[in-house]
Amino acid sequence: MKVGPIIAALTAAGMRAPLVHTGQHYDEAMSGQLFQDLGLPTPDVNLEVGSGSHAWQTGEIMQRFEPVLDRFAPDAVLVVGDVNSTIACALVAVKKSIKVIHVEAGLRSGDRSMPEEINRVLTDQISDLLFTTEPQATDNLRREGIADDKVHLVGNVMIDSLMKNLDRARPAAEILSGFHGNRDFALVTLHRPSNVDDPAVLTRLVDCLCVIGRQVPVVFPIHPRTRQRFQDVGLLARLGGPAFRLLPPAGYLEMLGLLRAARLVITDSGGLQEESTALGVPCLTVRDNTERPITISEGTNTLVGTDSDAIIRSFQDVIMHGGKVGRVPPLWDGHAAERIVTVIERRL
């Protein structure tokens, strides 16, 4: 979702941009479908790393990525986001004296217990060009000693993808055919270890979903790892009633259709915080912090943590009063990738 618009803009500008898929996200339903939905070209290289611990996965990506750089001898390596692939590829590039470009730089949750936070901080420190999505991200980089001339506020490439594909989104009524909640439902996603790996937290969240399901239907595309955790703790059956529609991992166009039609979103995903803000859909984020504060200060997002009372109270506010009304942040206009490429052309 972040790479798609950038590849298109680089190609339009006449730049050669080989695409490397590390294979960190390897499930066909979640990865292969995304490439198809977004119209991404077949990767020039697939490292096929697969799953493993954070340390193993990061190290394996580094070992497999180095020969790719030897083969292509690029002027720069562009990485996006905050996953293990981001820091692994950036580290290999900088050790080979190749410039690093980080898209979605400067986002901070302030929580160093999150692996993604470590990835973000380290990648930013070794990058030559840093592209931010919101002013606070730019401020974060300045506080961390990053030179101003390296940092460029360009907007959000996730929203580029959203705007480009909104008309192609699969209608929710089609996805939820036969389900009584195809017009007015809560869309749920959960995947962060802090939520799904702790049985007490997971049980508390399921209790909340059961309460919510008494008032509005609940649509829940389940990440494979999350489904396994539900099974391990014996909670999956509780979500099997008529108020719940459990779906396999949704493709991008399916998820876009569900999000656009939802009454509200309950999630721990960073991307959905941004997309719900762009579409004006109330979002309850079941985390204690967020690296995307603009979705709270200007958007439709509310941090509710995992406290049952806070979740239900915020849910009732949406049902009774419509929930938080926000606005789309500046530069979230569908042209972030073009601004990124303009800077790259000028600087490289």
Range of the domain at 177: 167-321
Same structural domain, 151 and 41: yes
Same structural domain, 207 and 280: yes
Distances (CA, A) of 292 to 64, 156, 325: 31, 11, 17
Same structural domain, 183 and 305: yes
Identify the CATH number of the domain in which residue 212 sits.
3.40.50.2000
Secondary structure of 21-44 in HEC code, one letter for each residue: ECCCCCCHHHHHHHHHHHCCCCCC
- Return the percentage of the chain with pLDDT > 90, whole number: 87
The reply to whether 160 falls in a domain is no
Per-residue pLDDT reduced to its tens digit, 93-119: 999 999 999 999 999 999 999 999 999
Per-residue pLDDT reduced to its tens digit, 300-322: 999 999 999 999 999 999 999 99
Return the H-helix or E-strand segment holding 255: helix 252-261
Same structural domain, 16 and 108: yes
Q: Give catalytic residue positions.
A: 191
Same structural domain, 143 and 171: no
Per-residue pLDDT reduced to its tens digit, 184-229: 899 999 999 999 999 999 999 999 999 999 999 999 999 888 999 9
Of 64-68, 89-93, 239-243, 327-331, the poorest mean pLDDT is in: 239-243
Same structural domain, 133 and 175: no
| Calpha distance 261→326 (Å, rounded) | 17
Q: Is the pLDDT of residue 326 over 60?
A: yes
Task: Identify the CA nearest to 192 among candidates 89, 121, 321, 285.
Answer: 285
Same structural domain, 290 and 148: no
As a whole number, mean pLDDT of residues 236-250 equals 92
DSSP letters along 285-321, please?
A: E-SS--S-THHHHTSSEEE-TT-HHHHHHHHHHHHHH
Same structural domain, 20 and 71: yes
